Structure 1
Amino acid sequence: MTPEEIAELALSLPEVTEEDPYGPHRPVFKVGGRIFAMLAEATRTHPDQVTVKCEPPLALHLCEQHSAVRPWHQGRRWHWLTVRLDEDSVPDEELSNLLHHSWECVVAGLPAATRERLRSILSA
């Protein structure tokens, strides 16, 4: 998936906003005012990448399955994953599922009324 495709998918989820708090070429996507995905444009040291929220057991599994997946901040934060978006990356369908999972992880922490409203929009 390209960064543009990730941004399009993120923005297709209910009530997602895009902001640039970390500067240009580093958009974050929020639901309920909370970040669920962050894009980073390629540099000399890394390819395009996306960081998403993830349940720790799934994070461990994905890190074992894909060399393009690693915990955010060199292993200190297992509830966030960074995925390189290069040719050895995660398959598009799995990346799409991971983005939805990240959205759901953040929604699960929102107030009950907001959570139910967002989930009903998604399932409609």
Structure 2
Amino acid sequence: MNIEQLRNYCLLKKGVTEHFPFDADTLVFKVLGKMFALFPLEDWEAGKGWVNLKADPDYTAELRAEYQSIQPGWHMSKVHWNSVYIHQGELPPQLILQLIDHSYDMVVKSLPKKLRDTL
């Protein structure tokens, strides 16, 4: 999968916006103001595409045990975030989309009910 496919997939989700809050290189997707995906564009341009995604702590551990391409979140909480190295080719595209969905769902679930209801 390429960055445009993943970008479009993220933007199709309800309440999602894209930002560059840290620098001009890190594309961040938020749902109602809360981050659920971070893409370092410089690495994508260099052919080393990866993304940081949020995950349930138990699921995080399972994923890391099963896939070498999923590591503790770089510059993120190692308990709740994974770095998913897409360029290595180990991960099926459907799994990558499921991980994006899971991250989005985790963030939505943590929002106050009043905000969740706006989706």
TM-score (norm 1): 0.84
Identical residues among aligned pairs (%): 27
Other structure's SS at 2:87 match: coil
1:78 paired residue number:
79
5+ residue gaps, structure 2, are none
Q: Please give the root-mean-square deviation of Cα atoms over the aligned residues, in Å.
A: 2.2
Are 1:15 and 2:15 an aligned pair? yes
Which segments of structure 1 move beyond 3 Å, counting only runs of 4 or more? 73-76
User: Any residues of structure 2 matched to 1:17-32 within 5 Å, and which?
Assistant: 17-32=17-32
Distance 2:2 2:24 in 1: 17
1:83 CA drift (Å): 0.6
The verdict on how the C-alpha distance between 1:108 and 1:76 changes in structure 2, with shifts beyond 3 A counting, is closer
Give 1:38's aligned amino acid: L
Distance 1:75 1:15 in 2: 23
Distance 1:3 1:31 in 2: 19
Distance 2:75 2:21 in 1: 22
8 Å CA contact 1:71–1:77 kept in 2: the answer is yes
1:4 CA drift (Å): 1.4
Distance 1:26 1:82 in 2: 14
1:2 paired residue number:
2
How many positions carry a matched residue from both structures?
117
8 Å CA contact 1:69–1:83 kept in 2: the answer is yes
1:89 CA drift (Å): 3.5
User: Any residues of structure 2 matched to 1:40-59 within 5 Å, and which?
Assistant: 40-41=40-41, 42=43, 47-59=48-60
1:60 CA drift (Å): 0.9
1:38 paired residue number:
38
TM-score (norm 2): 0.87
Mean alpha-carbon deviation: is it higher for 45-54 or for 70-79?
70-79
Are 1:92 and 2:96 an aligned pair? no
Q: For residues 25-61 of structure 1, give each alpha carbon's deviation from its aligned partner in whole angstroms, at most 9, with x where no partner exists.
A: 3100001111000001317x98111001100111111
1:122 paired residue number:
none
Other structure's SS at 2:80 match: strand
